[in-house]
């Protein structure tokens, strides 16, 4: 039996070698496939294909970047921008913080930012990663955004830095319909927009109540970022205490969206407190007087300065 076993051992060894070779070859092919697919989808064109085909049934995803992580829905405008380009308007927020800090508008020890319309927390996280911001009051009314906002704050370890207030800002305490834009989580507005697809009832609070809920005073706020899809004039009606201090305010100015006469009244309100402003898009900045703001324009970013 011993001789017989010795006689057949080389044949068994040959079979083992064949199996090992095949397994090794399969691993090489598998690794090549993975490398090829990664290379295929790593570029912008590949990510575009992925967002339209591979991610069709994905409702949310998380991506890791150099200094933060971000969870988002790849099915809507902001999420697609993050997936395709790696951020959403980060250059704008970074340029804005650098501009304000460089000109002495923000304190050296770290600014307290009031963010009205925080959405899923893109700018919230970017502000915190700038190294110039110590605290953010993130105000957001849309429940679908709030879940992602809370997740992004937690995943980036910002629970002690960011205070989330789940409401819209208005002139008085109430409940109101928030109209949601089709395919854009950042397009929610207290005003019915042409591309609105649904609505949800949300709490509306004046700014004093919002700040009280966040445990801060108006005197603590160093800068305001406000992007609420045409509701800026309404929110501004409860912001007199900040305006009286001439706090720098970055807002989206959209007179073509406002009801008749609103742009005129809005400019009159702002010009009571601010003489100058800047049309600010990060790369290009143009100074002008607040009273000279155009009454008809699609939308632009306005930086009100003391």
Q: Tell me the domain boundaries of the chain.
A: 2-42, 88-305
- Rounded distance, CA 143 to CA 148, Å? 9
Task: Specify the range with the lowest mean pLDDT, choosing from 38-42, 187-191, 195-199, 277-281.
Answer: 38-42
Indicate the pTM of the whole model: 0.83
Is the distance from CB of 148 to CB of 70 less than 8 angstroms?
no
How far are the Cα atoms of 127, 130, 248 from residue 101, in angstroms, in the given order? Answer: 12, 11, 11
Fold assignment, 88-305? Rossmann fold (3.40.50)
pLDDT given at position 1:
42
What tens digit of pLDDT does each residue of 177-224 get? 999 988 888 888 888 777 778 899 999 999 999 999 999 999 999 999
């Amino acid at each position: 039996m011993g001789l017989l076993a010795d006689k057949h051992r080389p044949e068994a060894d040959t079979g083992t070698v064949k199996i090992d070779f095949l397994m090794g070859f399969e691993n090489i092919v598998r690794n090549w496939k993975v490398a090829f697919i990664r290379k295929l989808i790593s570029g912008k064109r590949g990510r575009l294909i992925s967002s339209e085909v591979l991610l069709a049934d994905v409702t949310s995803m998380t991506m890791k970047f150099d200094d933060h992580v971000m969870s988002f829905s790849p099915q809507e405008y902001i999420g697609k921008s993050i997936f395709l380009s790696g951020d959403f308007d980060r250059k704008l927020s970074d340029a804005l913080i650098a501009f304000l800090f460089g000109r002495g508008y923000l304190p050296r020890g770290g600014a307290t930012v009031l963010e009205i319309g925080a959405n899923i927390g893109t700018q919230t996280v970017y502000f915190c990663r700038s190294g110039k911001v110590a605290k953010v009051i993130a105000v957001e009314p849309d429940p679908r955004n709030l879940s992602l906002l809370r997740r992004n704050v937690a995943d980036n370890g910002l629970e002690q830095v960011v205070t989330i207030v789940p409401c819209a800002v208005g002139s008085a305490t109430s409940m109101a319909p928030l109209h949601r834009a089709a395919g854009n989580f950042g397009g929610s507005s207290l005003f019915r927009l042409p591309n609105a697809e649904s609505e949800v009832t949300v709490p509306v609070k004046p700014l004093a109540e919002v700040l009280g809920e966040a445990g801060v005073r108006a005197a603590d706020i160093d800068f305001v970022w406000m992007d609420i899809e045409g509701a800026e004039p309404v929110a501004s009606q409860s912001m007199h205490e900040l305006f009286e201090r001439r706090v720098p305010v970055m807002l989206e100015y959209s007179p073509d969206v406002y009801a008749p006469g609103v742009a005129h009244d809005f400019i009159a309100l702002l010009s009571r407190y601010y003489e100058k402003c800047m049309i600010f898009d990060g790369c290009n900045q143009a100074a002008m007087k607040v009273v000279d703001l155009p009454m008809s324009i699609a939308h632009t970013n306005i930086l009100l300065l003391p």
